[in-house]
């Protein structure tokens, strides 16, 4: 349901004073009599859904993006910050290089603040729902399930960004927020509580909803599987990997099996349909942030989180942030059998200009990345060109292609906000279930059972309609030498546990590139230091001079610092994360 994320002006909470991180005050005073009505409670629920797109609406959402592009890809080896140079939103440059990430970073305070505003919106709705009967509000239990789902989502984001967080429910009075320590619960205890919230939500929610965009039973079970998988990877006090819990891995498999068998989800037939608003809320979408245009509001409910991320070229005239890295582009190379080059993909670079004829490449490369000389979606004036890049001397020429609709689409805003469209942002899509289950199976030593799951995403990529050469002379005159195959143990690969683990982790990198998840995967697996320092910065600094001093510090950079403004607000009760004192 597209309208579900339309902000109600009456219920905007985003202008509260930063010195009071949760005691947000509405712009207009609403009486208990009004809010306790079915319509009032429904409005509170809609307000909580609206927070998925950013509780501040279009006012600065790009500075604390809910799509996680800067937190989940720019901090990984898959993307550069982009934009007009390293000083263009320098805070994001600090995130990318892991240099100068201080507790006084105002954008971190903003992110923390906005997520707790979002938690409060869910809590406000839950309090009101708890105070009425089903006779008064027939959808009481369903809405309670939805609000518990949303609250769990916001806490999960807080947990994987900041780790040490204050956790509370709707029963804590606003005046008592300041008394809650951020070290009352460990990471594992927080994740256990979040998983339990999703489980409780699933008990209250229906299998399907009459309006797309609302949480369902199987969306809650899917999210519980995700949180349980994170929890399975135990961490030491210094954030390093302590081990993997097999009982929790089995729980992940059970949850995934339930959702796969009963949720009604399937892969779309063509990977490129993920970039078409016509396929919003498709069979692949498990849970998504809802966006819209032409919905009766001035500019529509478009994705303000990605405001900066359209390329500069004539099709969009954007700000050119969030550019794919050379490392990511090289990752799409395949061998003669159509399989990834796990250990040698980064030994040489695919050329900036539409190279692909000199390399076998996974077709997802040109579905995900804009490359010079390669057709850009359905844009008919010209292929992607050098003039589409804003600051090529610093960030190169690649552009993020996946998150944008085609320029001629009726789902796109013409002009500002550049590239804004009705394209939803998927928080969980069906391939997540396949690959989470595969990951759990592999870590349990049951890697043979994981082959078919990984192959499903590869088969879909191979069956998708490939990008044609710009001056194609036939329907098979492709822009590159697209070569992709499934894993056939004993035929084209030796499917050991180690090989299967590499295959799974590489498949997540290729399938979910530029979707804001990669950094969190690296942290979960305990391999961020090696991947970023040894495999990424060591080579990439020769291409991007601003990365010369970039370095991931193990035991510190797994999480952001607790914002100093919040430590001050707590009167020193909050404790800082390791390495930031």
Angle between helices 106-130 and 38-50 (to 10 degrees): 160
Instruction: State yes or no: pLDDT of 518 exceeds 90.
Output: yes
Q: How does 479-513 read in b/e, with b if 16+ C-beta sit within 10 Å?
A: bbebbbbbbeeeeebebeeebbbebbbbbbbbbbb
Region 380-388: mean pLDDT is 95
Q: Where in the chain is the domain with CATH 1.25.40.390?
A: 2-264+558-569, 304-516
Q: How many CA atoms does the CB half-sphere of 531 hold within 13 Å?
A: 24
Mean local confidence (pLDDT), 184-208 = 98
145: part of which helix (H) or strand (E)? Answer: helix 140-162
CA–CA dist 287, 429 (Å, integer): 7
Q: What is the per-residue pLDDT across 288-328, written as a single tens digit (0 to 9) for each? A: 999 999 887 777 799 999 999 999 999 999 999 999 999 99
Beta strand 360-361 with 481-482 is parallel
Give dist(CA 490, CA 269) in Å, integer: 28
**Residue whose entry in the numeric block shows the structure tokens 């229906």:** 206
Residue 369 contacts residue 399 (beta carbons within 8 Å): yes
Mean pLDDT of 218-231: 98
Alpha-carbon distance of 108 to 523, in angstroms, equals 19
Q: What is the pLDDT of residue 23?
A: 33
Q: From CA 301, how far away is CA 420, in angstroms rounded?
A: 9
pLDDT of residue 358: 78
- CA–CA gap between residue 14 and residue 479 (Å, rounded): 46
pLDDT at 34 over 70: no
How crowded is residue 155: how many other Cβ atoms within 10 Å of its Cβ?
25
Q: Is residue 529 pLDDT above 70, yes or no?
A: yes
pLDDT band of 273, cuts 50, 70, 90: very high
CATH level 2 (architecture), domain 2-264+558-569: Alpha Horseshoe (1.25)
Main-chain phi, psi angles of 468, to 5 degrees: -85, 155
Reported as type and span, the H/E element at residue 289 is strand 285-289
pLDDT of amino acid 353: 63
Q: Pick one of 1.25.40.390, 1.10.3720.10, 1.10.275.10, 3.30.70.3460 as the CATH number of 304-516.
A: 1.25.40.390
Question: What is the pLDDT of the chain when averaged over all its residues?
Answer: 92
Alpha-carbon distance of 397 to 122, in angstroms, equals 42
Q: pLDDT value at position 300?
A: 79
For the chain, the residue count is 581
pLDDT at residue 354, rounded to an integer? 55
Going by their DSSP bridges, the two strands 285-289 and 321-324 should be labelled as unpaired
- Asked which of 16-30, 472-486, 496-510, 527-541 is least confident by mean pLDDT, the reply is 16-30
Q: Give residue 510's pLDDT.
A: 98
Provide mean pLDDT across the span 335-341.
97
Half-sphere exposure of 229 (CA within 13 A, CB side): 29
- This prediction's pTM: 0.94
Convert the pLDDT of each residue in 342-355 to its tens digit. 999 999 999 766 55
Higher per-residue confidence, 356 vs 553: 553
For residue 370, give the H/E element and its range.
strand 369-370
pLDDT score of 102 more than 80? yes
By the 8 A CB rule, do 208 and 286 touch? no
Secondary structure (DSSP) of 201-222: HHHHS-SS-SSTTS--HHHHHH
The predicted structure's pLDDT at residue 56: 85
Q: Dump pLDDT digits (tens) for 7-18.
A: 333 233 333 333
């Amino acid at each position: 349901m597209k309208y579900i994320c339309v902000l109600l002006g009456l219920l905007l909470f985003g202008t509260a004073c930063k010195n009071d991180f949760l005691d947000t005050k509405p712009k207009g005073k609403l009486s208990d009599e009004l809010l306790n009505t079915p319509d009032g409670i429904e409005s509170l629920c809609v307000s909580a859904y609206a927070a998925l797109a950013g509780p501040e609406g279009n006012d600065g959402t790009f500075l604390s993006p809910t799509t996680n592009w800067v937190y989940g890809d720019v901090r990984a080896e898959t993307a550069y910050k982009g934009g007009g140079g390293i000083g263009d939103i320098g805070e994001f440059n600090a995130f990318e290089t892991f240099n100068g990430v201080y507790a006084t970073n105002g954008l971190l305070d903003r992110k923390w603040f906005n997520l707790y505003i979002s938690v409060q919106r869910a809590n406000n709705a839950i309090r009101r729902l708890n105070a009425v009967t089903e006779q008064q509000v027939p959808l009481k239990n369903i809405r309670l399930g939805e609000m518990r789902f949303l609250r769990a989502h916001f806490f999960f984001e807080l947990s994987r960004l900041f780790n040490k967080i204050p956790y509370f429910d709707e029963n804590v009075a606003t005046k008592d927020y300041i008394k809650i320590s951020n070290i009352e619960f460990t990471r594992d205890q927080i994740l256990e509580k979040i998983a339990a919230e999703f489980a409780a939500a699933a008990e209250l929610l229906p299998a399907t909803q009459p309006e797309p965009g609302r949480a369902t039973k199987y969306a809650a079970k899917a999210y519980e599987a995700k949180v349980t998988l994170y929890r399975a990877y135990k961490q030491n006090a210094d954030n390093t990997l302590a081990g993997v819990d097999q009982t929790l891995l089995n729980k992940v498999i059970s949850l995934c099996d339930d959702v796969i068998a009963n949720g009604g989800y399937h892969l779309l037939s063509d990977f490129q349909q993920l970039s078409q608003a016509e396929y919003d809320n498709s069979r692949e979408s498990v849970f998504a942030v809802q966006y819209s245009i032409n919905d009766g509001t001035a500019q529509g409910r478009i994705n303000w989180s990605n405001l900066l991320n359209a390329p500069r070229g004539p099709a969009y005239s954007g700000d050119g942030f969030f550019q794919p890295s050379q490392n990511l582009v090289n990752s799409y190379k395949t061998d003669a059998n159509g399989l990834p080059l796990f250990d040698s993909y980064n030994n040489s670079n695919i050329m900036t200009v539409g190279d692909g004829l000199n390399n076998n490449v996974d077709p997802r490369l040109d579905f995900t990345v804009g490359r010079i000389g390669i057709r850009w979606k359905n844009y008919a004036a010209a292929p992607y060109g050098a003039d589409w890049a804003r600051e090529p001397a610093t960030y190169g020429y690649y552009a993020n292609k996946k998150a944008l609709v085609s320029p001629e689409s009726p789902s796109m805003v013409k002009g500002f906000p550049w590239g804004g469209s009705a394209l939803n942002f998927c928080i969980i899509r069906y391939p997540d279930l396949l690959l989470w289950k595969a990951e759990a199976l592999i870590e349990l030593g049951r890697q043979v059972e994981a082959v078919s799951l990984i192959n499903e995403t590869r088969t879909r990529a191979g069956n998708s309609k490939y990008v044609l050469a710009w001056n194609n002379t036939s329907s098979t005159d492709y822009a590159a030498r697209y070569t992709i195959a499934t894993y056939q143990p004993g035929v084209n690969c030796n499917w050991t546990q180690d090989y299967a683990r590499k295959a799974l982790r590489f498949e997540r990198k290729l399938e979910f590139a530029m979707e804001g998840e990669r950094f969190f995967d690296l942290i979960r697996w305990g391999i961020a230091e090696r991947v970023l320092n040894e495999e990424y910065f060591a080579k990439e600094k020769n291409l991007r001079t601003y990365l010369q001093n970039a370095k991931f510090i193990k035991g510190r950079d797994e999480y952001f610092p607790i914002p100093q403004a919040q430590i001050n607000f707590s009167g020193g009760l909050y404790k800082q994360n390791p390495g930031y004192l």
